Structure 1
Amino acid sequence: MSIENTQIYIELYSYKQAWVDLPSEDRQRFVSVVENAIAEIEKAGVKVIGFGLNDTNTDRRAAYDFFCVYEMPSAEFARLFEQQVEASGWYNYFEQINVSGTVKSPSEILAENSHLSQ
């Protein structure tokens, strides 16, 4: 994957009450489907950097309990990924926000900050 097209994609999410209320066997079944989907996107060139719990001691902590970080081959792939997440029913069970963008060097981004780029 070349750096000029590399996209970092971050999901921040927390449970909705619908997830808590779902019977355990249904939650396990849903998780199995998600695990299979992750295996498929890895075959398509996505690097799963990691999943984790949002540390409660984090300074200026985002109000979400979990995170997922991916390296994606392109912005177009990221948009397809978003469509797949939506189609899976994920948002019925999880409150989520996403952050994504093209990887750039620190000096490039800091220069853009100095020029108030968006």
Structure 2
Amino acid sequence: MSCYLVELYTPNAAWQALPAAQRLQFLAAIGEGLGPLSSLGIELLSLAETDSAIAQASPRQFLGIWRFPTPQARDALLAAIDASGWYHYFAHMNAASGTGAVDAHLAALAAV
């Protein structure tokens, strides 16, 4: 069963205070770390700026959408993100779930 992770994030004051050369060095290390993820079955579906022109738009500036073969693979990515120092530089929010279906989702909504 696949599971998913959606990240929403915005650079914070610590990122904005970081000199450009250090930003590039940090991002290069992040980019290098993304390479081996496919060997774990981790799929990057999107890394992009969010669209602020839609109804009920997120106030976060960027998003990441991932698919994983197992919750353990998801947790490995989350641990790597934490270890990288990412959360020091970005106001970050995660949402995770398994694969869902409309009928089960509507039933869950009705139950709350």
Alignment TM-score > 0.5, same fold: yes
1:16 aligns with 2:12: yes
Partner SS for 2:95 = strand
2:27 is the counterpart of 1:31: yes
Q: Give me the TM-score of the superposition, normalised by structure 2.
A: 0.93
Matches within 5 A, 1:80-91: 80-91=76-87
Could you tell me which residue of structure 2 aligns to residue 54 of structure 1?
50
- Higher helix fraction: Structure 1 or Structure 2? 2
Please, what is the CA RMSD of the aligned residues?
A: 1.1
Distance in 2, Cα, partners of 1:59 & 1:90: 29
- Out of 33, 56, 62, the position equivalent to 1:66 is 62
Is 1:6 paired with 2:2? yes
- Residue equivalent to 1:76: 72
Please list every run of 5 or more consecutive structure 1 residues that lacks an aligned counterpart in the other structure.
none
Relative to the length of structure 1, the TM-score reads 0.89
**Separation in 2, partners of 1:53, 1:106:** 27
Q: Shift of residue 62 of structure 1?
A: 1.5
Cα shift readout 1:26-80 (whole Å, capped 9, x = no counterpart): 1111111111111111221111101111111121112100000000111122122
Deviates more, 1:93-102 or 1:68-77: 68-77
Looking at structure 2, the residues matched to 20 and 45 of structure 1 have their Cα atoms a distance apart, in angstroms, of 33
Asked whether the equivalents of residues 75 and 101 of structure 1 are also in contact (C-alpha less than 8 Å), the reply is no
- What percent of counterpart residues are identical? 21
- How many residues align? The count is 112
Give distance in 2, aligned partners of 1:29 and 1:43.
24
